[in-house]
């Protein structure tokens, strides 16, 4: 497998890549600094993955925060970026665009299945991820 890691925290991203490089060949991983809330950065990261590996087979949308005070950022990271990442994944994996199809995995939380005390925005975003994922799966 070949793995592209995206993170807005460059230090954490480099550490994750280094850990993978110890177990696998270094050329099988790439770290791309990316703020998933920035549409152009996210699209650019997808383009870099295609340029580096030549294809895209699996997308895992896993960015997440729990910050009720900065609730708008929580929505952007936890829900909007998942939606955008899903649509970009579909675009780049589409056979009409040179892809071979693929799989998209959207990570949510138990908070997406039940209420979470004192975490209404986080809970709403995770419910949103589940609803979006279920709906797009049957589309």
Backbone angles phi, psi at 87, to 5 degrees: -65, -40
Residue 70 Cα distances to 40, 49, 122, angstroms: 22, 30, 11
**Residue 87 bears catalytic tag:** no
- Residue of 63, 120, 130, 57 whose CA lies nearest to 94: 57
- List the catalytic residue out of 31, 46, 92, 122: 122
The pair of structure tokens assigned to 101 is: 């199809």
- Residue of 118, 138, 139, 136 whose CA lies nearest to 59: 136
Q: Which residues are the active-site residues?
A: 122
């Amino acid at each position: 497998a070949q793995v592209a890691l995206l993170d807005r925290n460059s230090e954490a991203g480099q550490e994750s890549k280094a850990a993978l490089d110890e177990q696998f060949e270094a050329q099988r991983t790439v770290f791309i600094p990316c703020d998933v809330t920035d549409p152009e950065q996210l699209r650019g990261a997808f383009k870099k993955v295609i340029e580096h590996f030549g294809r895209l087979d699996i997308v895992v949308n896993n960015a997440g925060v729990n910050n009720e005070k900065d609730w708008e950022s929580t929505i952007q990271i936890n829900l909007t970026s998942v939606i955008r990442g899903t649509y970009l994944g579909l675009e780049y994996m589409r056979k009409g665009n040179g892809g071979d199809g693929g799989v998209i995995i959207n990570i949510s939380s138990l908070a997406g299945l039940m209420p979470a005390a004192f975490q209404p925005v986080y809970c709403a975003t995770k419910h949103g991820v589940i609803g979006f994922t279920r709906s797009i799966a049957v589309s």
